[in-house]
Amino acid sequence: MPDATSPLPASGTAAQAAPAGPPGPAPTPLRKLMRVVRYAGPHKALLVASILLLSFQAAASNARILLLYPILDRVFPTATSTDGDSALKAAHQAAKEKAKTLLAPLDATIDGLNATTRPWVSDAWMPAPKEGADPAAVEAERARLRDRYATVFSVGLLFVVFVLVMSVSAFLEDYVNEMVRQRILMDVRRDLCAKLLRQPMAFYDTSHRGDVVQRVLDDVHGFAAGLKLVFGSLVEGLFNLLFGIGVLAVLSPQLTAICVPGLLLFIPLRTFTRRVNRQAKKRQSGSARRVEVLLQIVSGIRTVKAFRSEDRKVAEFHEADREVYRRSLRVQRTKSFSDAATEFLNNVLIMALAVGGSFLVLRGALGVDEKALLLFLSQVGNLYKPAKKLVKDLNGMNDAMASVDRVFDVMDLPPPPPEPPDAEPFRHVERAVRFEDVSFAYRPGLPVLHGVSFEVPRGATVALVGPSGAGKSTVCDLLLRFYEPTAGRITVDGRPLTSFRRDTFLDRTAVVTQDPFLFHTSVGENIRQGRPGATDAEVEDAARAAFIHEHVAALPQGYATEVGERGARLSGGQRQRITIARALIRDPALLVLDEATSSLDAESERAVQQALDRLRQGRTTLVVAHRLSTVRRADRIVVLEDGRVVDQGTHDELLARGGLYARLCAMQNLGATPPREEAPPAEDAGGDAEDEP
């Protein structure tokens, strides 16, 4: 979870990260929904096709209830007793005529189909005539019975058509909807990745990795659920309700007018959907904490095992998991209560319509007959499932919206400051790189550099030394433009560093750090990270120059050998020389070496130092080192203490002055500069490399 300094705000508050000013109103659910819908813009053709298929499916699903009317009216005709009440009998007759008029298109369709299905009726199904019966009356009765059988066949054919339309529409809609959803998710992940990778280093200094991973992975799954609801279930539910109400209106406008206001009973359920959204946000925050705990355990597995902390870490993870469990149950409790309330209200509404409608039909007060009432009640029951599902989907939407909010929190992070419109490409250093009175603070009021000034001439090696916390690595980060100075400036050939395009500057810069990071891929691909598109021959040349080729060639698959997570299958010296090869293949104009040998044993340090000596040749180099033996041959040494430059000069000059540098050398038993030694041939260095553990 982000702390007070995190650039990731709490869910739904990204807009408040904008410049100071009165906070705007919180985005409404509709506005959030529209942001999701906008992602469908590039895929609108597929989306329209999906919506049309949903409409066909909903229309067929609701219209099939009308197929019961021919069965009731033509196959099993009945009459309602009116006990001699002529007025009531007239009302019932009027109701029957009205129903026939409303459903006349369906009757005409059945008549047309009966002409086809009537020959299917077997004479064997006809009753034998009674002795002495009137032949004309017998034939009339057989014609009526034959029409009933034909109507059954016709209704069956229509039902098959409806089912085929529904099934084909359901298949195509589900496939097209999933296609749209996956394309949108690819767009969302691409935008999330681009937004995160373009954030400044300060973002990663203050963000919790667990929260970042949670938003990119788990919250995107929530975004996916929201998309499925927006472009699938919710649209389907709305179509089903609209077509269903249309069928109700055809059967009885009066009953529909009574029934639809009953839907107002469902409005209070909106309270539960809002509560689901709030609780889901808390659950997602807890889930981010769980991911953070797991990432820390996996990243520090060596420390965990060394200090036998397995049980404590299991308990810590279990507690974070229990918190997610508790919050998930709160979400589910609210959703389940909402579903139960929906079912209760729906059943009450159906029973009220059944009892009240039956009474009014018997009194002839609604203008519908008993068959139309039966169909009406059947359709109301038919609408129960989509109505319940719609409420459930709305709860699911609010659950998903918690993830959508967190995804958009990342999308709404402020972009990095734009480069000056007149920024030019960087090519090389012609004279020098200069730090001019540079100050820097990671947090306001807590500076770590104070007026730092020094120069790195073209082709020279300048070393930064000093006690831990003096600001050496911060100087390197400023030169690499991970951060911008809070005061002063950095220049190249007299021009501010910001006057060069950042991408071209980094293209001509290489860095080798204390912790050599390798990607979980092959040796060759790790070297090729320095210059994508480099040929195999160029990769091998870089490896030879870094004195690592002989070792790589001895691996089971050579340059195609996987190095493992963070290069775990290689020794520290081997990993470091691969990063040097990665820097060499880049052919940089400016080189930054940040304590590149401080974590190595003496044997590995010697092999790596040989590779670094070759890497520095002819390049403008800034070196940071704790081991002063690695920098005493530098062209110039800059001594830092508490973020200030306290001395500069060569190794011998600084020793002669007897300041901080001399004290540091004394602690490391270093004296005068030894005579320079030529780097051994690559073959010899390669042999040393083979002796590494």
pLDDT (tens digit per residue) in 157-190: 888 888 888 888 888 877 887 788 788 888 888 8
Per-residue pLDDT, 683: 38
Query: Is beta strand 620-624 parallel, antiparallel or unpaired with respect to 461-465?
Result: parallel
* DSSP class of 562: B
pLDDT at 366 over 70: no
A 10 A CB-CB count for 521 gives 14
End-to-end CA gap in the chain = 41
The tokens for 310 are: 């397995």
Average pLDDT rounded to a whole number, residues 353-370:
61
Whether 288 and 1 have beta carbons less than 8 Å apart is answered as yes
Q: 108-124 as b/e, with b when 16 or more CB fall inside 10 Å?
A: eebeebbeebbeebeee
Tell me how far apart the alpha carbons of residues 196 and 541 are, in angstroms, rounded to a whole number: 34
| Closest to 692 (Cα-Cα) out of 599, 561, 627, 600 | 600
Domains, in order of start, for the chain: 37-411 (1.20.1560.10), 432-516+591-690 (3.40.50.300)
For a pLDDT cut of 90, what percent of the chain falls above it? 7
- CA trace torsion 255, 260, 266, 268 (10° rounding): -120
| Residue 21 pLDDT grade (very low, low, confident, very high; cuts 50, 70, 90) | very low
Per-residue pLDDT, 437: 94
- E runs forming strands in 495-556: 495-496, 509-513
pLDDT (tens digit per residue) in 564-579: 776 777 877 788 888 8
Per-residue pLDDT, 269: 54
Per-residue pLDDT, 645: 92
pLDDT at 614 over 50: yes
Average pLDDT rounded to a whole number, residues 605-614:
72
pLDDT at 488 over 90: yes
Alpha helices, DSSP H only, in 126-233? 135-197, 201-206, 209-216, 218-228
Which residues are 591's β-sheet partners?
Answer: 510, 621
pLDDT at 206 over 90: no
pLDDT at 461 over 70: yes
Tell me how far apart the alpha carbons of residues 578 and 544 are, in angstroms, rounded to a whole number: 10
pLDDT (tens digit per residue) in 112-148: 888 888 888 888 887 777 777 778 887 888 888 888 8
pLDDT (tens digit per residue) in 533-548: 888 898 888 888 888 8
Q: Is 541 helix (H, G, I), strand (E, B) or coil?
A: helix
Tell me how far apart the alpha carbons of residues 175 and 130 are, in angstroms, rounded to a whole number: 60
Angle (CA) 383 389 391, round 5°: 105
pLDDT (tens digit per residue) in 97-111: 655 666 777 778 888
Q: What is the pTM of this model?
A: 0.65
Burial (CB count <10 Å: 0-12, 13-18, 19+), residue 594: buried
Per-residue pLDDT, 399: 67
Q: Is 414 helix (H, G, I), strand (E, B) or coil?
A: coil
Per-residue pLDDT, 13: 42
| Closest to 488 (Cα-Cα) out of 425, 545, 423, 440 | 440
pLDDT (tens digit per residue) in 338-356: 667 766 766 666 666 666 6
Per-residue pLDDT, 647: 92
Per-residue pLDDT, 365: 58
pLDDT (tens digit per residue) in 64-105: 777 777 777 777 665 444 454 555 455 555 555 655 666 777
Whether 320 and 286 have beta carbons less than 8 Å apart is answered as yes
Dihedral sign for Cα atoms in the order 550, 551, 555, 558: negative
- How confident is the prediction for the chain on average, in pLDDT? 75
Average pLDDT rounded to a whole number, residues 303-332:
74
Tell me how far apart the alpha carbons of residues 377 and 357 are, in angstroms, rounded to a whole number: 9
Which residues are 620's β-sheet partners?
Answer: 590
For 527, the enclosing helix (H) or strand (E) is helix 523-528
